[in-house]
Structure 1
Amino acid sequence: MVILILDLFNSLNSFENIKNVKEIKKNNDNFEVNYSKIYEFTLNIQKQNFDIIMCIPEEWNLKLIDFYIKDYKNIKFIPHLEENGKICLFDKEGLLVEENLNGIAIESIERLNKVLYEGLNDINKLDFINEFDAYWNLLSTNNIAKSNVNLSNDIKIIKYKIKNNKKNIDLVFSDDENSFKVYNIKGSIKNAIYIPIKSKEYIYPPDWRKNFDFYKFCSLLNIEYIFSSKYINKCGNDLVLLINITQPNKTNCLISLYIKNIKQYTINIKNNTLILPNITGIPLSVYRCDEEYLLGRGGIERVFSNKKILVIGCGSVGGYLVDELVKSGFLNICLVDYDILSYNNIYRHLLGLEYIGEYKTTAIIRYLSKNLPHAKVISHEDSIRLLLEEGSLELSDFDLIISSTGDINLNRWLNKYIKIKKIITPVIYLWNEALGIGSHALYIKDNYLGCFECTIGKDELGIYDKTSYFERGQTFTKKMNSCNSTFVPYGSIHSVRTAILGVDIAIKHMNGNIKENFLISIKDDGTVYLKENLKLSNRYIKQKNKQQIISGENFDRKNCFICKRKT
């Protein structure tokens, strides 16, 4: 470390605009990090001296070096100036760091020179816009708001609920009352005002080092009119504003202002000018929780949210499937399953003990409503066969059908039903094999060659599953107690793998990238199954790669009573 420090001293002194380098023995009480080494030096930028504190953490190869401007309150307000005078130099997300302290210090100081020079000359002023919320958050001093509001182009009344917190303001905005269920906030629902502003000129964040000037900022936003509008009469004693600023570069800056006891003020108009009394406005940091923003953060196609998906079977595969479908942007889902979650399910299901004794369908909906609030999921606690035969459900109403029951007989019936009814909605069949030896996904659309029945073979010994990785005639089911406790053994990890396979196919289908029917099979290594004295099928042995894709054109259709009529 001594050699490294000597190199560091030499490197600092090698910069022509750095003088008075010295080591500080004691940590500054304002620092949140306990640094191993701290240095102070004078940095000259355009004939202006800055006293810089350079701090080296113990894990400098992970956290890099921090730089602070000692007299930060008295310099020009520039981008990348953070709390306590810290200067943000690098976006650490995805940054590859070489384990060379001297090299890191040199590169950091070069970056520090650049940031200060560009800030003093307004070269990087646009960074204020791109990082508007960061500077506004420094102004709000722990007063926060979560917003589920759709950012429309029209002024409107919205709802809010506030937590009972005497120290800080903590509230939630929403377009309607349903969203509040997620946050479990007690108290009454009140009205706030949403104000969209489309600015022709850039609106820069206020200097967080100074007291917030409510009047100056309202004038800058040109929102004084709101205090004499009809909207203010629809609000309570406290006036809360959610303001969406659309900057000239299309960046959205969402902020909030909280005005306590607005009714106590007298607002006058003189010479067509609004005369505001001595109103105090409290800035709130706003965290977006609306559907558009959250889906965008996940790199999700918004178009998926309007597609209707039917999921049949909410067991081990189906539970993970629905969760990942929603996280992929498929928000409009109908669930069909009449099974109830039991203790036996919890170590290979999305849901845990909290949901024991509930229908898997309604339990999944309850889980999603607490964790992924924008999902619009409905359910039927009945068999798919009964629902279709009664006319309670129409398969043609959906954009995609996914059968994740793993029930081969039900899948054969569903496949036949779809063919007879000439339903053009495609189906994805998903299933695990025993002990997790394989995951299978079959994509079938009526106007392409092949169907589910093509996976069924028949010979003098009877019918069999041609996709299986196990040799025929073996028993895989196990019992915990009685016949009612019979199950096929496989783990949660195998169901997750199968579910992800299904979601990937669903995305490809919605993007129009599928032009044929196909079967995807992923095999596991056979060591576990050999220990169980189980025999592997010829298909497993002949499959050289971990994953195999078979086109519908290559399905063996000669014994398929559904496909044999097709050419």
Structure 2
Amino acid sequence: MIDYELLLKEFGKIENCKNLESEELKTLDYKFYKDSIVWEIQTELTFNNKNIDVVFYLSFPNDFPFVTPKIFINKESYHDLKYIPHINEDLSICIFDEGLNLILPKNDFVGFIELMVSKAKKIIRDAEDVHYKKNEFKREFKAYWELNYSKSDIISNLGFHSINENSGEEIKGIKFTNSYLSNYEYFIGNNDADFKKIKEYAKEHNCNFKEVGILLIENEFIEPPFELTFADTLAILKKNNNNYNKFKELCRNNDFDCVLVIFINSNNSSDEYYGWTYQNAEILSRKKGGSRNISSKIDHLSNRINEKKSATRLTFDNISINRLQLRTTGYTEKQKSVAISGLGSVGSNLVFFLKNLPINRFNLIDKEALSSENIKRHLSGFSLLKNNKVDAVKNDLKNTNPLIEVETKIKSVTTIIQTEVDFINDCDFHIVAIGKTMIEEFILNQVIEGKLIKPTFIFWVEPFLASGQMLFIMPNDAEKALTFIKKENYDYSVLSNSENQQDKTYLIEGSCQTGFFPYSASYLIQFLSSIFPYLKEHITNNDNVSRVYSWIGDKELLSSKGLVITDFGSNNSSFQLIRNNL
């Protein structure tokens, strides 16, 4: 329990401060922590060679010291200083990066508060350095571009993009009209393949769209405030006659809210895209019996009704696959592609792991639909029942990132191999999760004959998930793999291959065609989690040695079911992963 009275008394020896009562807090409009203790700190500092008085507010969270207090600058104090880097729209001051795992000094809270106030003063004093101030505004441009500078100011983080900075292709855009797409109104990019994916995703979600005009200009924004009226934007555009003529052409051919002026803020070796549009422009109607005195459509933006209106400032989030991987892992990797045959319980849950690897293309093969008995251990759930399994899994992948390329075939893999084998061969790997020995043998024969040419993974599980198996097979080892899986008694089975066990491992729910092999979803995830590091090595790190991976299930469960276990199963521990070369 923090003794705030004692803390205030001790800190009062350093700075002039007081605790604000609830009635005083009601008169202040700051985003303090809810029901928090707030101190007012009156201090002074040197700014532009003058001593100035400054008032700070320190808001303690209820769970202090596990959460850092917030410090705010008084509105009147800030009025003559603004704008200063690292002071937010709500007048809170960025003292510490909230993403860091800060550990506060539990035995010296007075020293910690003194440090916060000292840092707040330094942030203000640093703004005296014009060069520093310019660089900090550039580095933190997004924060200041998205500030509301007045009640009439309009900002919108409703754009996203996948622009390839190394491509010289023209930037194009679309506007989503009847509804936003995942809370976005605009998409811009310079890759036709990405546009195709976004448009297909929009159609699947009943989101209409239309083309917009794009004008790319140089970034002229150095220091806030960045509020823009229609007249301000026209003044910027008129500085470059070529840009202004292009803008007039775009306005002639598009509605004003379908004209986007964009620019780049280059920061931290990456390009950020911003811009503006005109979402509330009014076109004056022609007076009856008279003229409008408008020579060009663009002139409507500078008429007496529109000229002082605020342009809508736009921010475009980067959802390109490389950027998201860099933002997640801290580095980029070469993207791979996989074909997956079988999207049942094993195959669909495998996708959950695969989509976290640098894979930007999935070719999915399965002829069956998702039924109610599947949903307990399938990646997809109730909302996608009666959809084809490939479409259900595609939905999950596309919802992760619509720029992932996903193609589907609602056919058996044997048909695909006979009629559209390139659907598999065009990918880097072929993953088989069907659990049918005859089909696995057929696939391996096709590899031996040279019809299938890529490395192959084969997955299957035993009933009650007594074991989970993964074979990684390089094409040259397909014959060896075929001989291996054709053995009557597979070397790494945990359950004995005995006919009198079938009534215990193949359960009938009711009438004909209701039989199933039981295994729990939790054990399935445990198996896939154990196997994932090795799957990753083969896919991303070019481990090209053919291997057999065998995961041992819960042997206590098997014993409780009265099941006979093989010598291999008896000689290894539950939940152990055994690796062998093929």
Q: 1:215 to 1:248 in 2, by over 3 A?
A: farther
Q: CA deviation at 1:370?
A: 4.4
SS of 2:558's equivalent in the other structure is: helix
Q: CA deviation at 1:540?
A: 2.9
- Contact in 2 for aligned 1:336/1:381 (Cα 8 Å): yes
- Summarize the alignment of residues 305-344 of structure 1 with structure 2, pairs less than 5 Å apart: 305=335, 307-344=336-373
- Contact in 1 for aligned 2:217/2:243 (Cα 8 Å): no
* Among 116, 121, 125, the residue aligned to 2:124: 116
- Summarize the alignment of residues 46-85 of structure 1 with structure 2, pairs less than 5 Å apart: 46=46, 47-71=51-75, 72-85=78-91
Unaligned 5+ segments in structure 2 are: 190-194, 285-293
Partner of 1:228: 245
SS of 1:243's equivalent in the other structure is: strand
Report the Cα distance in structure 2 between the residues aligned to 1:495 and 1:196, rounded to whole angstroms: 53
Q: 1:92 to 1:325 in 2, by over 3 A?
A: same
Report the Cα distance in structure 1 between the residues aligned to 2:542 and 2:526, rounded to whole angstroms: 21
Q: 1:184 to 1:113 in 2, by over 3 A?
A: farther
Report the Cα distance in structure 2 between the residues aligned to 1:127 and 1:528, rounded to whole angstroms: 61
| Partner AA of 2:186 in structure 1 | V
Are residues 1:158 and 2:170 paired? no
Partner of 1:564: none
Report the Cα distance in structure 1 between the residues aligned to 2:41 and 2:531, rounded to whole angstroms: 59
Are residues 1:204 and 2:222 paired? yes
Q: CA deviation at 1:470?
A: 2.4
SS of 2:185's equivalent in the other structure is: strand
Deviations 1:391-423 (A, max 9, x none): 555643331100111223322332232123275
Q: CA deviation at 1:228?
A: 1.8
Q: 1:132 to 1:216 in 2, by over 3 A?
A: same
Q: CA deviation at 1:466?
A: 1.8
TM-score, normalising length: structure 1 = 0.81
- Contact in 2 for aligned 1:182/1:373 (Cα 8 Å): no
Partner of 1:509: 538
| Partner AA of 1:55 in structure 2 | S
Report the Cα distance in structure 2 between the residues aligned to 1:317 and 1:288, rounded to whole angstroms: 33
Q: CA deviation at 1:107?
A: 4.0
Q: 1:214 to 1:132 in 2, by over 3 A?
A: farther
Partner of 1:243: 262
Deviations 1:432-471 (A, max 9, x none): 332234333221103359843354474xxxx122222223
Among all aligned residue pairs of Structure 1 and Structure 2, give the percentage whose two residues are the same amino acid: 19
- Summarize the alignment of residues 130-209 of structure 1 with structure 2, pairs less than 5 Å apart: 130-139=139-148, 141=154, 143-151=156-164, 153=168, 155-162=170-177, 171-175=185-189, 176=195, 177-181=199-203, 184-185=206-207, 189-195=210-216, 197=218, 203-204=221-222, 206-207=224-225
Q: CA deviation at 1:283?
A: 1.5
Report the Cα distance in structure 2 between the residues aligned to 1:445 and 1:300, rounded to whole angstroms: 31
Are residues 1:23 and 2:19 paired? yes
Deviations 1:295-326 (A, max 9, x none): 44333976654x43210101012112234433
Report the Cα distance in structure 2 between the residues aligned to 1:110 and 1:434, rounded to whole angstroms: 65
Report the Cα distance in structure 1 between the residues aligned to 2:534 and 2:263, rounded to whole angstroms: 37
Are residues 1:91 and 2:108 paired? no
Partner of 1:286: 316
Deviations 1:137-164 (A, max 9, x none): 2236553313245355555442112467
Report the Cα distance in structure 2 between the residues aligned to 1:136 and 1:447, rounded to whole angstroms: 58
Q: 1:205 to 1:418 in 2, by over 3 A?
A: farther
- Summarize the alignment of residues 538-549 of structure 1 with structure 2, pairs less than 5 Å apart: 538-543=567-572, 546-549=575-578
- Contact in 1 for aligned 2:548/2:579 (Cα 8 Å): yes
Q: CA deviation at 1:342?
A: 0.9
Report the Cα distance in structure 2 between the residues aligned to 1:323 and 1:2, rounded to whole angstroms: 45
SS of 2:386's equivalent in the other structure is: coil
Unaligned 5+ segments in structure 1 are: 270-274, 556-567
SS of 2:577's equivalent in the other structure is: strand
SS of 1:138's equivalent in the other structure is: coil
Partner of 2:290: none
| Partner AA of 1:74 in structure 2 | D
Report the Cα distance in structure 2 between the residues aligned to 1:365 and 1:11, rounded to whole angstroms: 59
SS of 2:101's equivalent in the other structure is: coil
Deviations 1:73-107 (A, max 9, x none): 33131211112211121222241334725454344
SS of 1:348's equivalent in the other structure is: coil
Are residues 1:492 and 2:521 paired? yes
- Contact in 2 for aligned 1:444/1:517 (Cα 8 Å): yes
| Partner AA of 1:23 in structure 2 | N
Partner of 2:34: 34
Report the Cα distance in structure 1 between the residues aligned to 2:241 and 2:33, rounded to whole angstroms: 43
Report the Cα distance in structure 2 between the residues aligned to 1:42 and 1:515, rounded to whole angstroms: 68
* Among 297, 306, 326, the residue aligned to 2:327: 297
Q: CA deviation at 1:349?
A: 0.6
May I ask how many residue pairs the two structures share in their alignment? 530
Cα RMSD for the two superposed structures: 3.6
Report the Cα distance in structure 2 between the residues aligned to 1:399 and 1:95, rounded to whole angstroms: 40
* Among 471, 481, 502, the residue aligned to 2:496: 471
- Contact in 1 for aligned 2:55/2:74 (Cα 8 Å): yes
SS of 1:90's equivalent in the other structure is: coil
Report the Cα distance in structure 1 between the residues aligned to 2:210 and 2:473, rounded to whole angstroms: 48
Q: 1:496 to 1:50 in 2, by over 3 A?
A: same
